[in-house]
Chains A and B, each alone.
Chain A
Amino acid sequence: MDTFFSNLFKKANTGFWPVAIALAFLLVGTFSVYESPRSLGAFLILMTTPLILYFMKMNMKIKVFIGLLLIIVILPVLGIRNIFYLEVIFQMAVFAALALGLNIVVGMAGLLDLGYVAFYAVGAYAWAIFGSKQLSLLHSIPGAAPANAPFALDPKWFWLFIFLGVGLAAFTGILLGLPVLRVKGDYLAIVTLGFGEVVRVLALNLDKPINLTNGPQGITPIQRPPLPPEPIMQFFRNILAPFVGHVPTDAEFYNVFFYFLALIIIAIAILVATRLEDSRIGRAWTAIREDETAAIAMGIPLVKMKLAAFAAGASFAGAMGALYAANRTFVSPETFSFLQSIGVLTMVILGGLGSIPGVIFGAAAVVLLNIQILQNFSLYLSELRQGDTVIPIINFAWKDLSNQLDPAKYQKLVFGLILILMMIFRPSGLIPAERRKRELVEEKE
């Protein structure tokens, strides 16, 4: 069976076949999503295209062309037809950036960080506090805020705060690192776990003595960066209207806008991560992961390099945090719970520790599973429950199915199972890490 599929794959992976298959998936996916924007199957077909592009051999230019066509043209247009898909992809991008950042700390440098989401919180709260009315409410009781308070900053400041988010998160990473890096392994994991909780609890309780975070109610509304100027918007409205079937509203444009912002951040994150990996810094991180004693004997300053790993990893989360706050126009401490940290770690492990394409794939897969597949399955089950159908042989009526068996409720169980199966059958992840092969001109003996 195994050889049958691998032979089939080999045959399909030669000549013009890869391009044909990729185009087929792209066209069928696009057409079916366009026709039935609510179908999960159609969306999955479309989302298979990037996988084909990644795994199959074809001309690099064609690969890039198909990829860009999908990302820049097709997805936004389809996304305006069914805004939910853009939301799914936006979340994929957010978590992919988080996974890339955590991958630097856990995957490359081998430092288990269970409080990673704290850096995400730092970025998010930075823009949340300055980009909302919070600064003028510092002395009012949470929940009893006057409605006419002014916004502290113009929405344009958001652009600066993406960079500030990066800087603040990196700084927090170093702050965390300084006391923590004296401990190793399990101890490090526990201390970082504690740190993550400290940040969340701070967000929860810093509504007194001055109301900085508005406590458990969270901060809202947070301003969004302004859309491009009117002539450009008009241009896009005109172009998109015939494809979408109606004139897109500003709310829809905002979704596309955030989708592109997330894409830009993720592109930068991928670039930075790959370049760091293949350099003196990245080699030092991997050396530390493999053998600290040998690494330090080679002249690698452990503390400095570990701090650098924490700072670099945290900075990705900081940028995404600021973007997330603006996208949701709302932040609350609940978003930054311990389970969120574990969720990102799951993506990294599922995709492949230390593997950049792996963790992106891991993030996409988990998000898809989380907010698409399980949800859809839940919907399907509840439809069955309302109908009169009966499972034949065992004579079980669907309407007797307990509410407790709602898949959305046992999400964590599904992840647990997936992780256990992964550890048994594919411990190095879905796309395992690979070292770069250098072109070494070596003579044969």
Chain B
Amino acid sequence: MSLLKTTNVVKRFGGLVAVNKMTFSVDEGRIVSIIGPNGAGKTTFFNTLTGIYTPEEGQIQFKDHTLIGLRPDQVAATGIARTFQNIRLFGSMTVIENIMVGMHIRLKQGAIDTIFRSKKFNEEENEAEQIAKGLMEYVGLKNVGNELARNLPYGGQRRIEIARALAASPTLLLLDEPTAGMNPNETEEAIKLFRRIRDERDITILLIEHDMRVVMNISEHISVMDYGEKIAEGSPQEIRSNQRVIEAYLGRGAAVAHEQKA
């Protein structure tokens, strides 16, 4: 069953068509990737999914919500959480607080509860803190709860971002180049973490990735974008041998050479 389904989504910037007639779907419980060369429109497509951009044409269906016209915070409330290509943490807040911000839509305390510190408020805050601690451990962070997020090393910041996204208890997790800038060891651990998230938490994962090893290793289904269009989709095996994909990545000449070798 498809969890997320887009039909003919078009996003233009002036004369430039950044996303062209993307028809695409993500099945529930899978790990799906979007790949493509630089400037192919992957991140733009992500941003139309999460409501940062409003597409000019097309439909986006998530569970039984139509996402077109929703603000990013409303999209988040339907159960989609995301991370960013360049880490976007709240640098001068502590790690725990960053994760607790992720719980914004789950927490129900109002201004009156807050000012009078009602029983409801205290219970909710304690619970939120416990969940945040649990998530910290889950993504492999230890003893850094009170550190400011900006003081953590790069890998740690990536983990916080994932914990923060998980804090919203989403049904769909969008990861925008989650292993960018990681060394092979860190990448390996990240892949394990994504699998665990899917297996243990029943969260469907859609990721954008550059690193072919990562993509082939983790994805169960891959869509390839080039010049804003989807040029291929299928299993890692199928994508590996797809002519148009090789062309898009390596250029035409290389593709011909590749063919001759084969």
List residues of A whose CB falls within 8 A of some B CB. 271-272, 275-276, 279-281, 283-284, 286-287, 290-291, 293-302, 308, 433, 435-438, 440, 442, 444-445
Contacts and interface: CB of A to CB of B under 8 A. Distances in A.
A442 B93 contact: no
A299 B76 contact: yes
Nearest to A293: B88
Contacts of A275: 114-115, 117
A435 B102 CA distance: 17
A162 B115 CA distance: 18
B89 A298 contact: no
B88 A301 contact: no
Interface in B104-151: 104-105, 107, 109, 111, 114-115, 117, 121, 125, 129, 133, 142-143, 145-146, 148
Given A275-B114, A297-B50, A283 B142 contact: no
Nearest to A296: B72
Interface string B42-84: 0000000010100000000000000000011100110001101
Give the size category of B's interface with A: 35 or more
A433 B92 CA distance: 10
B192 to A, nearest CB: 19
A279 B114 contact: yes
B172 interface: no
Contact of B145 (A276, A293, A301, A442): A442
Nearest to A437: B146
B222 interface: no
Contacts of B101: 283-284, 287, 295, 298, 300
Contact of A286 (B52, B73, B93, B102): B93
Contacts of A444: 143
B104 A440 contact: no
A440 B145 contact: yes
B90 interface: yes
A324 B182 CA distance: 59
Contact of B125 (A271, A279, A297, A298): A279
A382 to B, nearest CB: 47
A435 B76 contact: no
A300 B73 contact: yes
A287 B145 contact: no
A442 B73 contact: no
Contacts of B88: 291, 293-294
A271 B91 CA distance: 26
Given A287-B93, A298-B101, A437-B146, 5 more contacts: A276-B111, A287-B101, A297-B52, A297-B82, A436-B94
A275 B116 CA distance: 8
A296 B148 CA distance: 21
Contacts of B76: 296-299
Contacts of B148: 435
B52 A298 contact: no
A76 B27 CA distance: 72
Given A276-B114, A435-B93, A296 B109 contact: no
A283 B92 CA distance: 11
